[in-house]
């Protein structure tokens, strides 16, 4: 068992080594742009006409996972619709951080973007599990959590996850320094909801915007 | 002191139940509150849940009136203890089956069910039992021992306020602010000297604002799949589809950035981009991947 793990780990390292060499051999492009990305919070971004004609064929699904059959997720949509989401080797999985399909559990919420297949499934390019995006007010700060309220004074506990939770102040770069969050501030919290105890693991808290 | 507490229990329980009961019975937001409770699922719809919540409120008001008017009778105390036991059971059921639901205990309490709700329900049970044991009416007790009675009432009111989230804004938030001012933030600062590691999210943020990202975006299909650090570089792996004359093939899109660069210190980041065929593992020449600059729209006026 451990031997398998070791060889799997070594295989992964070898592959990363190979990909590093390939990455560093690539073309260098210098410069910045104001165009956004397709990562985590982009799951909520307004649809933007894509430069790629293929992207306009993208399918989108959201809901709660009711069953997992191998690499197919059965998803009950919020409006009574049903989706079958096919995961592939090329599918990115986000659950608080980039992770693997093993982390997905029945009962989790999901947003998925992919391509409609002829058999009615959606071949997912990217899935975001339990992702939430809340506009809150900071009501309290403790060592491992932020007490927040959102909407109609609804209390939410935001957990601070070591080496994962980041903060952005006044539009600055994301940093692991959370010490500048203040009580009373408005904050946008991007994180992963935990169905077990109804708290939110914070991926990113944006204040002073 | 115990006998002061038992004889004042009808007053304290009566006061609490009168406030929470009246708020449920007459509150304008009862319907809104009921919609967030587990009652909706149990009773089938929001109207029934609202009616149930108002009925409970009416029962609370009746029991409160009985407690206040006939403090020496056993029946109101027993009814209070039963009501408290019912609350505890309801909370346990709601917590087990729908932890995200609101408790609906007091008119403005919208938080999820937590230890405060359970403690309050437990205190209603204890208060009811204490009221059964009352040997004097609360008004004769206040008349006889004004000072101990005042202490008990003030302490009990403080405990009940602390157990309700309705007034947190008034006392808890200022208290937390004061604690932060006195003792500083409990959240650790990174070590001085800029030794803090740049979080992966910051590298992704930098990448997504780069020209390299814009150039590669027609190829990229996934979100961030994997990342690792190697010799001062941070490698970010995405997957995508590359189309050329030979057709479409699955590819890995790799970006290499300076490990320490963020949008703060690298306004024009240098990003290495490469596309590797996922099956043959051959690098694909992407020399012609040129950024498509979006035309700047004319400003009005």
Report how far residue A67's alpha carbon sits from residue A105's, in angstroms, rounded to the nearest whole number: 9
- B-interface mutation test, from A9, A13, A21, A35, most B Cβ less than 10 A away: A35
Question: Does residue A144 sit within a domain?
Answer: yes
* Confidence band of A208 (pLDDT split at 50, 70, 90): confident
Residue of B nearest to A168 (CA): B202
Q: Are residues A143 and A111 in the same domain?
A: no
Question: Does residue A5 sit within a domain?
Answer: no
* C-beta atoms of B271 and A142 within 8 A: no
Last residue of a domain, one of A129, A153, A186: A129
Q: Are residues A173 and A196 in the same domain?
A: yes
Question: So what's the ipTM on this one?
Answer: 0.86
CA distance A28 to chain B (A): 4
CB A135 within 8 A of CB A190: no
Last residue of a domain, one of A72, A100, A129: A129
Which SS3 state, helix, strand or coil, does residue B22 take?
helix
* Residues of chain A contacting residue B172, judged by C-beta atoms under 8 Å apart: 139-140
CA B195, distance to chain mean position in Å, is 33
* C-beta atoms of B239 and A184 within 8 A: no
Domain, as residue range, for A202 = 131-207
Q: Are residues A99 and A169 in the same domain?
A: no
Q: Is A126 on the interface with B (CB under 8 A)?
A: yes
Last residue of a domain, one of A88, A110, A129: A129
Element (H, E) at B149: helix B146-162
Q: How many domains does chain A have?
A: 2
Q: Are residues A94 and A160 in the same domain?
A: no
The predicted structure's pLDDT at residue A15: 84
Question: Does residue A116 sit within a domain?
Answer: yes
Summarised one tens digit per residue, pLDDT across range B202-228 is 999 999 888 888 888 888 999 999 999
Q: Are residues A83 and A65 in the same domain?
A: yes
pLDDT at B246 over 60: yes
CATH of the domain at A55: 2.40.50.140
Q: Are residues A51 and A118 in the same domain?
A: yes
Q: Where are the alpha helices (DSSP H) in chain A?
A: 2-24
Summarised one tens digit per residue, pLDDT across range B96-141 is 887 667 776 665 555 667 788 889 889 999 999 988 888 888 888 8
* C-beta atoms of B173 and A140 within 8 A: yes
Closest CA to B160 of B212, B114, B117: B117
Q: How is chain B split among helix, strand and coil, in percent rounded to 5? A: 50, 15, 35
* Chain B residues 194-233 within an 8 A CB cutoff of chain A: 196-202, 204-215, 217-218, 220-228, 230, 233
* C-beta atoms of B269 and A20 within 8 A: no
Report how far residue B57's alpha carbon sits from residue B52's, in angstroms, rounded to the nearest whole number: 9
């Amino acid at each position: 068992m451990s031997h398998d793990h070791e060889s799997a780990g070594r295989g992964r390292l070898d592959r990363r080594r190979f990909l590093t060499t390939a990455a560093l051999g690539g073309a260098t492009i210098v410069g910045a742009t104001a165009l956004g990305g397709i990562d985590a919070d982009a799951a909520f971004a307004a649809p933007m006409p894509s430069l790629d004609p293929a992207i306009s064929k993208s399918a989108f699904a959201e809901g709660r996972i009711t069953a997992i059959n191998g690499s197919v997720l059965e998803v009950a949509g919020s409006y009574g619709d049903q989706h079958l989401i096919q995961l592939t080797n090329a599918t990115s999985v986000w659950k608080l951080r980039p992770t693997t399909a093993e982390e997905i559990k029945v009962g989790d919420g999901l947003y998925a973007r992919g391509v409609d297949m002829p058999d009615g499934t959606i071949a997912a390019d990217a899935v975001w599990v339990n992702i939430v995006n809340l506009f809150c007010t900071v009501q309290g700060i403790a060592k491992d959590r932020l007490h927040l309220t959102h909407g109609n004074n609804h209390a939410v506990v935001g957990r601070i996850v070591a080496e994962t939770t980041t903060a952005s102040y006044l539009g600055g770069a994301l940093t692991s320094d959370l010490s500048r969050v203040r009580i009373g501030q408005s904050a946008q919290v991007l994180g992963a909801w935990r169905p077990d105890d109804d708290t939110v693991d914070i991926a990113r808290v944006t204040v002073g915007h | 002191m115990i006998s002061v507490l038992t004889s004042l229990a009808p007053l304290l329980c009566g006061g609490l139940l009168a406030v929470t009961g009246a708020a449920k019975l007459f509150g304008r937001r009862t319907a809104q509150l009921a919609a967030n409770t587990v009652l909706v699922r149990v009773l089938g719809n929001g109207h029934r849940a609202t009616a149930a919540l108002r009925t409970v409120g009416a029962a609370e008001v009746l029991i409160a009136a009985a407690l206040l008017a006939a403090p020496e009778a056993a029946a109101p105390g027993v009814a209070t203890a039963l009501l408290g036991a019912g609350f505890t059971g309801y909370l346990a059921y709601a917590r087990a089956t729908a932890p995200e639901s609101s408790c609906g205990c007091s008119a403005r309490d919208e938080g999820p069910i937590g230890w405060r709700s359970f403690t309050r329900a437990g205190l209603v049970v204890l208060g009811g039992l204490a009221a059964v044991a009352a040997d004097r009416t609360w008004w004769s007790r206040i008349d006889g021992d004004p000072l101990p009675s005042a202490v008990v009432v003030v302490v009990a009111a403080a405990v009940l306020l602390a157990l309700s989230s309705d007034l947190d804004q008034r006392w808890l938030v200022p208290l937390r602010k004061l604690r932060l001012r006195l003792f500083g933030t409990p959240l650790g600062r990174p070590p001085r000297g800029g030794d803090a590691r740049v979080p992966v999210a910051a590298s992704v943020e930098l990448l997504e604002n780069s020209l390299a990202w814009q150039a590669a975006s027609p190829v990229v299909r996934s979100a961030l799949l994997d990342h690792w650090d190697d010799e001062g570089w941070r490698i970010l792996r995405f997957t995508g589809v590359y189309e050329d004359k030979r057709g479409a093939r699955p590819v890995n899109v790799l970006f290499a950035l300076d490990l320490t660069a963020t949008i703060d210190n690298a306004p024009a980041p240098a990003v290495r981009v490469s596309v590797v065929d996922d099956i043959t593992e051959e690098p694909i020449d992407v020399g012609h991947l040129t950024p498509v600059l979006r035309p700047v729209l004319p400003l009005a006026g």
